């Protein structure tokens, strides 16, 4: 099956944040309550991604030669091909969906948090306490949230559906790469010499592609992102070693899983943050 992707065009985006609200509305990530926020001298809010906030828009003011620009960008899972989170996940809770993006099975998540360390974009967030093991990881599901699955039902993700200025598109990844390259070429021809298609090649190809009018660093994106070496060591060396050396890891993770599962059943609310 052809790989799918989201194309985000920062040059078209007006940061209306319809996507940010639609993400919560569709996926019920916060049970309709919203996060308690205060204005911290910005249009931006909440301040960071969280188990309740899987997508947020970022605002950056840049001044060059006395000219101000206001850059908007999307912050959410990039759905990498070379995905650190998938590599390090000991329970295979995080996996590559057959359509290419990174989905996860919350029931399998042990809350170990290794995916957080392994993410070059600092995206996954945990509820609960990482040490006690009752936490669960959350991030953008590419709208494959259980019981609320859009993509497997042939619909575009909620953020794409809602985007008023058509800054978001959903479709076959190769077609969107071609479209993205075309738009970048147009931006470059119109004087944006640093325009760039982020995600074309990064981490063997992201499933969220960014058309950027400026260089990636100007939007706070890493240049040539890599899965941290320690995570790779974990996957390629430590994990097999662990499997060979004994059942300790398995038993531990199994316990983790059971405790976490028990905790969830007791509370009846998956991933509800304990106050």
Please report, as ranges, the residues that interact with another protein according to CB under 8 A. 11-12, 14-18, 20-21, 24-25, 30, 32-43, 45-46, 61, 63, 68-72, 164-166, 186
Nearer to another protein, 3 or 9 (CB): 9
Q: By three-state DSSP, how is residue 263 classified?
A: helix
* Distance separating alpha carbons of residues 220 and 223, to the nearest angstrom: 9
Smallest distance, another protein to C-beta of residue 267, A = 21
* Angle value at C-alpha 56, between 55 and 61, nearest 5 degrees: 150
Smallest distance, another protein to C-beta of residue 179, A = 12
Smallest distance, another protein to C-beta of residue 167, A = 8
Strand 4-9 relative to strand 168-172, pairing: antiparallel
257: left (phi over 0), alpha (psi -120 to 50) or beta: alpha
Q: By three-state DSSP, how is residue 68 classified?
A: strand
* Distance separating alpha carbons of residues 264 and 260, to the nearest angstrom: 6
Nearer to another protein, 39 or 224 (CB): 39
Smallest distance, another protein to C-beta of residue 34, A = 3
Phi, psi of 125 (to 5 degrees): -135, 145
Smallest distance, another protein to C-beta of residue 94, A = 27
* Distance separating alpha carbons of residues 226 and 102, to the nearest angstrom: 16
Nearer to another protein, 17 or 97 (CB): 17
Nearer to another protein, 15 or 209 (CB): 15
Q: Are 10 and 219 a contacting pair, CB within 8 Å?
A: yes
């Amino acid at each position: 099956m052809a790989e799918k992707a989201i194309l985000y065009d920062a040059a078209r985006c007006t940061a209306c944040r319809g996507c940010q609200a639609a993400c919560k509305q569709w996926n019920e990530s916060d049970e309709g309550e919203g996060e308690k926020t205060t204005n911290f001298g910005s249009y931006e809010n909440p301040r960071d991604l969280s188990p309740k906030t899987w997508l947020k828009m970022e605002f950056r003011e840049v001044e060059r030669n006395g000219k101000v620009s206001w850059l908007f960008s999307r912050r959410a899972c990039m759905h990498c091909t070379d995905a650190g989170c998938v590599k390090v996940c000991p329970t295979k809770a995080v996996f590559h969906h057959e359509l290419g993006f990174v989905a996860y099975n919350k029931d399998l998540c042990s809350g170990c948090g290794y995916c957080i360390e392994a993410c070059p974009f600092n995206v996954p967030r945990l509820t609960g306490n990482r040490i006690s093991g009752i936490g669960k990881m959350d991030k953008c599901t590419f709208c494959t949230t259980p019981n609320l699955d859009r993509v497997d039902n042939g619909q575009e993700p909620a953020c794409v559906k809602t985007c008023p200025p058509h800054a978001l598109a959903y479709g076959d990844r190769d077609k969107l790469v071609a479209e993205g390259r075309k738009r970048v070429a147009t931006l470059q021809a119109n004087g944006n010499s640093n325009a760039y298609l982020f995600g074309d090649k990064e981490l063997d190809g992201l499933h969220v592609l960014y058309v950027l009018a400026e260089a990636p660093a100007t939007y706070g994106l890493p240049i040539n992102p890599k899965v941290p070496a320690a995570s790779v060591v974990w996957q390629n060396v430590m994990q097999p070693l662990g499997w060979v050396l004994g059942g300790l890891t398995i038993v531990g993770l199994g316990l983790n899983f059971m405790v976490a599962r028990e905790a969830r059943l007791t509370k009846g609310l998956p991933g509800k943050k304990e106050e």
